[in-house]
Structure 1
Amino acid sequence: MTSPSGIAISDLNKAFGDTHVLKDISLEIAPGERVVVIGPSGTGKSTLLRSLNFLDRPDSGTIRVGDLSVDAAKASRGDILALRRRTSFVFQNYALFANKTARENITQALITVQGKSTADANARADAILRETGLADKANSYPAALSGGQQQRVGIGRAMALDADLMLFDEPTSALDPEWVGEVLDLMRRVAEKRQTMLIVTHEMQFAREIADRIIFMDGGHIVEQGPPSQLLEAPQDPRTKAFLRRVV
């Protein structure tokens, strides 16, 4: 890839004890590409995302974001911090600070990770809150917000970082059905900006709408990948076919 914001993952491995969760995962993501990962539960999808910014430290492999390349086996604390500055993460359980307001949840990383001044961070957070439809909730704490509002704050926090790669780990799985639509709508608006996105989701219709490419994972491997029209309608691998029969 020639673009400075291209993503390349090479031979990524992760084990928890004797359980080998990621097995030689290699993947390239073009700038502005929206890639959706689907597959059975327990097959390594969330671990893949968490390994990309060292929430779970991979055992081996290389992660490249633009001109930054990190060898997982040798990564220093500085390497990990540099990688986290290039990525942002949206968690399935929101992961907001309960003792901080919506605005403060967004400014936290801007100040501590990116080194912005409080004034600049507040200005950025307020712009994000307007964009996510939460301007009137700037001073509200998570306990006073609905699940959908909390997840929109979580997405806003990721948006504020202007990262090369946004990682979404099943962002609607913890939501009541009534809140799923507003979160997916916000993700569509983020995608329209050609933000590079790697999304784990069980929302098949949303995957069809938003993805440039869908990846099917099973047993710690990338089994099959392709544009939504090909992978969802004419999958080639028997494991993909069996999975889609169950979920579509």
Structure 2
Amino acid sequence: MIRIEGLTKRFGATTVLDGIDLQIGRGERVVVIGPSGTGKSTLLRCVNFLDRPDAGRISIGAISVDAARAGRADILALRRATAFVFQNYGLFANRSALGNIMEALVTVQKRPRAEAEARAREILSETGLADKADSYPASLSGGQQQRVGIGRAMAIGADLMLFDEPTSALDPEWVGEVLDLMRSVAQTRQTMLIVTHEMRFAREIADRVVFMDGGRIVEQGPPARIFDAPRDARLRRFLARVSG
């Protein structure tokens, strides 16, 4: 369903992504792990052109975009096929929880407001936030804000959901509720590409774990093999550090 080919991204003289190749099947949950600064978040941001790649091709279903030739229409089509959950929530401060979820339904998908509101209220119920529909982000806890962010991604029905370390900005007390919601999303067989530092969660939720280091994919495989029988020395060192 999803094919990433030769994805390359440079910031000045630094190559952050060095020819990434990755395929993801429909309904597959792929978790990306690795040291800080190795390009994991940049990978996600390049998949939907929040950061424009310097080279490579991204295909999602029938949409295929070459970084060297991508025009505005190509990028918009790619973004409509994806939904992004940010580290820092990425909510509109001047819109309520309901308004944040409605926004893309109205402005991008051009749904009638009444239809968009009904769908947004369904999502708020599914995320356990029905009573927070009229609350603004400043009055919500970090966990509630991130659940609104995930709800917004759920609402648009994208082919691929991208999660960029969704618990990294949360106080420890809120991490569990966000991971629980992600488990619920995963049970629907939504296609997911997740960057996380939660190793226990990665082992539990992933169909496949991808280890990145130095802007490259070093090793990938089922969680049991990656965590219990890693082959690459860099992966073994990384796991020893995060488990210690």
**What do residues 147-196 of structure 1 show as CA deviations (whole Å, max 9, x unaligned)?**
00000000000000100000000000000000000000000000000000
* 5+ residue gaps, structure 2: none
Task: Tell me what 2:62 maps to.
Answer: 67
Task: Tell me what 2:159 maps to.
Answer: 164
Task: Tell me what 2:132 maps to.
Answer: 137
Q: Which moved more, 1:110-119 or 1:192-201?
A: 110-119
CA distance in structure 2 between the partners assigned to 1:176 and 1:111 by the alignment: 32
Task: Tell me what 1:231 maps to.
Answer: 226
Q: Secondary structure at the match of 2:68?
A: helix
**Paired residues, what number?**
243
Task: Tell me what 2:212 maps to.
Answer: 217
Task: Tell me what 2:85 maps to.
Answer: 90
**What do residues 114-158 of structure 1 show as CA deviations (whole Å, max 9, x unaligned)?**
111111111110000000000000000000100000000000000
**1:114 matches 2:109:** yes
For normalisation by structure 1, the TM-score amounts to: 0.97
For normalisation by structure 2, the TM-score amounts to: 0.99
Query: In structure 2, which of residues 187, 196, 216 is the aligned counterpart of residue 192 of structure 1?
Result: 187
Task: Tell me what 1:16 maps to.
Answer: 11
**What do residues 77-117 of structure 1 show as CA deviations (whole Å, max 9, x unaligned)?**
00000001100000000010000000100111111111111
Letter paired with 1:88 = A
Query: In structure 2, which of residues 84, 99, 102 is the aligned counterpart of residue 104 of structure 1?
Result: 99
Letter paired with 2:189 = R
Letter paired with 1:28 = Q
Task: Tell me what 2:173 maps to.
Answer: 178
CA distance in structure 2 between the partners assigned to 1:18 and 1:103 by the alignment: 43
What RMSD, in angstroms, separates the aligned Cα atoms of the two structures?
0.5
Q: Secondary structure at the match of 1:93?
A: coil
